[in-house]
Amino acid sequence: MELIHVHKDYNYYENKNDIAIVLLEKAFRMTSHVNKISLPQPNEEFTSITSWKIWPEIYYNVFRKVKIPIIPNEKCRRVYAKGWDLVTDEMMCAGDKSPGSDGGPVACERKNGSSVLCGIIVDSQGLEGPQYPVMHTKVSYYVDWIKTSIRNIQSMKE
């Protein structure tokens, strides 16, 4: 990695602004398994996510693609209120997570079939299990910040 640009208002304890831009020293080679993904529109909403889940009870260390409904933040706040009352508008909840998935990307599919990067799995602060949906940084909330940060990083490199 050449540079990591963390959101200036990131707060680990409240999981606020849990997003960063990573500049790689060398570009990935695009293949049938490695490709680019588009950003969503600012504040674009989705009804489900597409993610990868590890199924250790069925196959050891095998990831399977799954479609998971997004849970309304109001419902998520009620679930987390018992242990972690930090569900904010820049987050979204969906499903349960696989071990080691913190920081992982989450895609959402549009009606036309195209996929966009809609979420980043955040640290669950020790609250895990089927009763706790996974918290995601809502990428559509940060599109303007992402684009501005990329422009600033590019101008620093010139």
Q: Which tens digits make up the pLDDT trace of 40-91?
A: 999 999 988 876 665 555 555 666 677 888 889 888 888 877 655 678 889 9
The backbone torsions φ and ψ at residue 134, rounded to the nearest 5 degrees and listed phi first, read -80, 135
Domain boundaries, the chain: 33-141
Q: Is the pTM of the predicted complex or chain greater than 0.85?
A: no
Q: In this predicted model, what pLDDT tens digit does every residue of 115-146 receive, in sequence order? A: 999 998 886 666 666 677 888 899 999 999 99
In DSSP notation, 36-104 reads --BPPPTT---SEEEEEEE-TTTSTT-EEEEEEEEEPHHHHHHHHTTT-----TTEEEES---TT-TT-
- Is domain 33-141 annotated with CATH 2.40.10.10? yes
Highest mean pLDDT: which range of 9-18, 29-38, 128-137, 143-152: 143-152
User: Quick check: 103 pLDDT over 80?
Assistant: no
Q: Please, what's the b/e burial string for 27-56 (b: 16 or more CB within 10 A of its CB; e: otherwise)?
A: eeeeeeeeeeeebbeeebebeebebeebee
